[in-house]
Structure 1
Amino acid sequence: MGLVVGNGAADALKREIGDSMTGLAQSLARQLDSTMWARANQIAALSRIEALKDPAVAQSTIDELKRRDPTIAWIGMTNADGRVMAASGGLLLGADISSRPVQLEGMKGLFVGDVHDAVALRGKVPYLEGETPKFVDVSAPLTTAGGTPAGVLAAHYSWEWAYASIRQLTAPLSDRSGLTLFILSANGSVLIGPDDTVGKPLPVPALSAKLRDGWSADVWPDGVTYVTGVAHGRGLHDYAGLGWTVIARQPANEVFAETGRLRLTIVATGILLALLFSVVGWFAAGRIARPLGAIADAAERIGSGEHGVSIPEVGGAAEIRRLSVSLRDMVDSLTNKDAALMRLEDIAYEDRLTALPNRRYFEQYVEASTGSGGGSATVMYIDLDGFKPVNDRLGHDAGDAVLRQVGSRLAGIFRDDDVIARLGGDEFAAILPRRPGRPAPDFGELASRIIATVNEPVSINGEKVRVGCSIGIASWPDDDSDMATVMRHADAALYKAKRDGRNRAVRWTRVEMGAEG
């Protein structure tokens, strides 16, 4: 019994430890993808700002970004000819970069360039001591009102942030002796790893041939067998990723040392007790098997992806207690990393200006809540009237203040199970699901409340300004069984409200809209 239980527990523990190595690699891969996605989105969003085509405004903005974000090694704005018109620290100001990928690809659209050396910036920006500086490029086009590229906003992000990500991820695992992390480029070269491997292919041909998510035990060139976890960066949302691979390895003799001691203890105790006291041996084996079974069961449930499961803190032998505590700490550490990544995903669904859900969240919520075909809901499109004159006369800061105030007012009008989102600009949308046993609201009275609330004055630097709003309303499945068609109906009703004089609501009906439906 001791031999069977010991071998089973050791095998389960080996699988859990191997999966933890894969989880560690996956956590770093997700963190790298998340960081690059945020940086690409930052540059893409900034490139949409019309004022950045003015070199003076661009220089001021660039200096502020460089001051706030230490990972930016260099950031600049060019004109359509590739001439640098504004640059952080004045580096490369006036230089011609028309032949460089950051200009050529940036003029076409959002560009994210893989890790590369930047000899032109050697000695001019901070980088890792003893190395040629390495950077990741991000650029996006600055376009005219007609959509013609007028230049690019380009940034070199220091490769130092990848080292910082590794340090942050491995800090809680400092007790794991011999743990080493590798980051491979899309072509298989080592970007980060031991000094003698950087810039070269992975030194384990067998492992290179089967690079896929998972773990294995392989012999490396130094003759040591390592437990190796592999994960691929798969991008995030609309960011496709750069094809990086993360590998975590640890010497097998250190990883599996505890399982060997555990197996030996169980087997030796079982044999001794079986020879001396068969009855005592029976109870002793049960006392050992139960906590090991609880640990193995919890490990398998965690490995299958079940939520809310933790490694139990069991009693019994000192080795088992140490094992349960060590596993609990390790799982908690990895869980905390996953929770942080989930928070980053939550941020991606929030409109930063108004703190309301954004278009991405709204569209996914609509699809999820109506995709099953059951229930019913009403869609309201809300567009501000008179917002552009306020924005043009008082500036973007005043416009942002108006949008924040309107967003706050709208959030206070709807019920807890309704969703109000900012789609972009001065356009908002709401979806109101109808719950069984709960009466639907009076949409005419609700629309009147929305209009009256939005019409209340907003104080901007002592000056009171007013905006109105037009509302289009359509219901699913009353107006159509296809939710996309219902949303188009609500949009058509919105524009009819604007044509009829603005600051009013129009409920879509075939009679009301006629041919427009």
Structure 2
Amino acid sequence: MSINLRTMFAGAFAVVIILLTALLSYLIGNESSKTAGVTIGRSLAEVAYQMSYSLDHFMWARSEEVEVLSKLKAFQEPVDKEEIAGLLNQLKENLPVFTWVGYMDTKGNVLSSTDNILAGSNIKERPVFINGIEAPYIGDVHDVKLLAKLLPNPSGEPLQFVDISVPVKDASGRSIGVLAAQLSWEWSRQVESSNLTPLKENMKGVEIFIVSKDDNMIVLGPASQVGKSMKDPALAQARQGKSSWLINKSEGSQSYLTGYAHGDGYMDYPGLGWSVIIRQPTDIAFDSVHRLQNYIAISGLAVAVLFGIAGWFLAGWIVRPLQLIAESADLLSTGKEAEIPKFNRITDLSILSASLRNLVNNLSQTETEFYISDMARHDALTGLPNRMALDDYLAHAVSKAKQSRSTLSFLYLDLDGFKKVNDTLGHASGDKLLQEVSFRLLESTRDNEMVTRVGGDEFVIILHTSAAKPMQEAEVVAKRIIDKINQPFLIDGEIVHVGCSVGAAVWSPETQDTSEILRLADDALYISKRSGKNRITFETAV
């Protein structure tokens, strides 16, 4: 399949532009993705760190408040339950995050509490008492079923709390009770909102997770994820105390740009080891980059179309002179008179035009000479090579046979009964018979072998035969020729029968020259005719 120059020009222009567009789109997109990734990743990591800091600071502040409250004289013996209840309720009123605050004796009995919830109950088995009797204690996020039943819960969702407890000691340093508080985990939503709201205004699809140190449980995040264990490369990095960002695949094939930070406490508060993970799907994070790449691609395709059209017209201007030259050449090939046009404005076309004009002139002269030469080497009636062509062919055939150490077999044949055809049907019919015989001779030989008409009804065939058994090979061909010639001919509506006698001689590099071999074959032909015709006779050199 071939394409014209105009299509090639237009296609080449378009392909170059498309390739350049693809390259620019890749380079710009790749660099933009890196820049966007660093910018957004750092923003997410910074927000994660700020939230981690806010969580630890909040817990430190609440623990300090409980610690300060435990130092008041009201908690010293003897205990004034009413005074303590008033203080606890005042604390809850000022800081609603304290869902429940209670004061217990050393045996775990709740002496006073906010709204008298659990007052008179014993919670010595609860971690908030067990751990708080010895030293200040802060417990991780958990459910408290007993307390949850007693507290109002309009939302109906499971209530979660964070424990804070401190030992209450007398002037001698002896533990005389425990001051404990249950903080509603809802305060974490406030921290999340204060940190994430500005981020969500600029970033779509952002999710935040707070992951507990115990079992990597998600304690804050999308509702469907809370309470589940999180497995994420970013979490592993955060656990090492790092604060940074990365791109990772988390759920299925979804890819995220993730910022992370680890809570390591505040001041003398050691922290609960929470990790903050903030992530955004990469297809959203890099949406602007993808839009830029699409814009470049669309612009590139538009430019490619424009350049393709320009290339089409430019190629047409260049190709037009070539088309005129081609049209002239086509006319010359049909035998009509035509002249290759001249072009002077473009140097290359001017050179091409002049060269073609010279070529046409030279070919015309050569064709005339070749035609004259060809006519002289071919029989006008049958179109077969004549004696002159035979001599030229033998010169090349002998050289080739000497190189390959093979032989040449000469078949000299004459038609039996040809004179009768001329006498009864006329010379015109005889000429047609010679033409038909020529076709059958060509069918009986190979393409590289020579069939010539040397005069009248006489033909000479040169066969390429082996050095081992040339006579047997020549005999096979001769018999095939005799069989074909003996088949009837239809000439001018008449069935014509003729025979064929063959004389043969073999040339080898050790024998005489080809003219002597041809003479021997001619002698053998007459022996065949005298011996009964329609046969082959070999004559060998003495």
TM-score (norm 1): 0.49
* Structure label with greater radius of gyration: 2
TM-score (norm 2): 0.47
